[in-house]
Amino acid sequence: MTNPAPETPPARSPFAGCAIMLILASVALFLIGSAVYSLFRQNAEIAKFTQPTPSTLPEIVIEGRESALNDLHARLQLFRESLIGKTDTPATLELSAEDLNFALATMKPLRDYRGHFFVKEIRQGEIIADHTRLINGLPGSGEKRFLNGEIVLKPILSEKTLAFQVQNLVVPHQSVPREFIAQIPPFRLGVTEQQDPILGPVLQQLTAMEAKPGVLELRRIPGEVTTATASDDQVDSAFLRILRVLICGFLIVVGLGLFFALRAKAKRASSSQTPR
């Protein structure tokens, strides 16, 4: 009796898998190309309103102003004692533009901002300061750019920290896009000081920080509820979006490489097992 001939498996197009891989490869290359183009375009736009060197801010003169500096320290100490000693009574501290500059020049918690700000004026709801800030250029290029000009900050008390949200940037001969300004996270004071034995209790007692004409007011009013918030993650930066696209494209390319490598290995294994 003759054995029946084995069934022949249906023919598969050798181009089906290749077509899918070509589509995925094209998508990956498109993602990477778009991200690289966006990165270069963003860098070119930033170069329009930044400079290759930092600006020179007005010097904060301490010499000969010892009495004013001592008065500031005395008021700060009195305010702290009012907050800690009598938690059920109102306490208020008013700081002028000169006071803020003295604080920038002499106080350790503000050392990271030293040389980057010079407070010029305090208005209703905002602080105006001369400002210089380093901005990195293209990743890996070593290029440095500086954002020089006038910065407008809105002070608010947020999560027991002193936060200063960037409202506007004014630079010479150019305008800064609102999209760029919106991506700048608030400047914060008090994140690392929460556990400080001197500053921590003060931050815990504050109920508000407000800019008024000529002064920045810090206060503790019993029963006052703090509603302002400022999050570092409130806006997703364009650079992070570009970085995510690059990573996505890279992962697709790596996946394609692994797929082809495993496919080739499977073919070699199949060929070695086929009887001759």
Q: What is the pLDDT of residues 51-72, one digit of tens each?
A: 989 999 999 988 889 999 999 9
Paired sense of beta strands 174-175 and 187-189, if any: unpaired
Q: Does any domain span residue 219?
A: yes
Answer yes or no: are the C-beta atoms of 81 and 126 closer than 8 Å. Answer: no
Nearest to residue 31, comparing CAs of 259, 268, 250? Answer: 250
Q: Which burial class, exposed, middle or buried, applies to 76 when counting CB atoms under 10 A from its CB (0-12, 13-18, 19+)?
A: middle
Cα distances (Å, whole numbers) of residue 188 to 33, 226, 235, 258:
36, 16, 16, 45
Residue 162 domain boundaries = 66-238
Question: What span, in angstroms and rounded, lies between the C-alpha atoms of 130 and 57?
Answer: 7
Torsion of CA 205, 211, 216, 218, to 10 degrees: -10
Q: Does any domain span residue 198?
A: yes
**What is the average pLDDT score of the chain?**
79
The answer on pLDDT for 261 being more than 80 is no
Q: Does any domain span residue 123?
A: yes
Question: What span, in angstroms and rounded, lies between the C-alpha atoms of 16 and 180?
Answer: 45
Question: What span, in angstroms and rounded, lies between the C-alpha atoms of 17 and 4?
Answer: 32
Q: What confidence category does residue 24 fall into, taking pLDDT thresholds of 50, 70 and 90? A: low
Q: Does any domain span residue 218?
A: yes
Task: Please give the average per-residue pLDDT across 201-222, as a whole number.
Answer: 93
The dihedral region occupied by 140, where left means phi > 0, alpha psi between -120 and 50, and beta the remainder, is left
Task: Render pLDDT for 84-109 as a digit per residue (tens, 0 to 9).
Answer: 877 788 999 999 999 999 999 998 88
Question: What span, in angstroms and rounded, lies between the C-alpha atoms of 253 and 245?
Answer: 12
How many domains, the chain?
A: 1
Q: Does any domain span residue 230?
A: yes
Q: Does any domain span residue 29?
A: no
Angle, vertex CA 236, rays to CA 234 and CA 238, nearest 5: 145
| Residues in a beta bridge with 169 | 151
Verdict on whether the full-model pTM lies above 0.75:
no
Neighbours of 275 (CB within 10 A): 3
Task: Please give the average per-residue pLDDT across 119-127, as a whole number.
Answer: 97
Q: What confidence category does residue 257 fall into, taking pLDDT thresholds of 50, 70 and 90? A: low
Percent of the chain past pLDDT 70, that is, above it, reads: 65
Phi then psi dihedrals of residue 13, to 5 deg:
-70, 130
| Residues in a beta bridge with 210 | 217
Task: Please give the average per-residue pLDDT across 134-161, as a whole number.
Answer: 85
Q: What confidence category does residue 266 fall into, taking pLDDT thresholds of 50, 70 and 90? A: low
Phi then psi dihedrals of residue 4, to 5 deg:
-65, 145
State which H helix or E strand residue 119 sits in. Answer: strand 117-123
Q: Which two tokens stand for residue 184?
A: 């700048």
Q: Does any domain span residue 6?
A: no
Question: What span, in angstroms and rounded, lies between the C-alpha atoms of 69 and 119?
Answer: 16
Angle, vertex CA 237, rays to CA 233 and CA 241, nearest 5: 115
The answer on pLDDT for 37 being more than 80 is no
Task: Please give the average per-residue pLDDT across 241-257, as a whole number.
Answer: 57
Q: Does any domain span residue 58?
A: no
Q: What letter represents residue 32's amino acid?
A: I
pLDDT on residue 241: 54
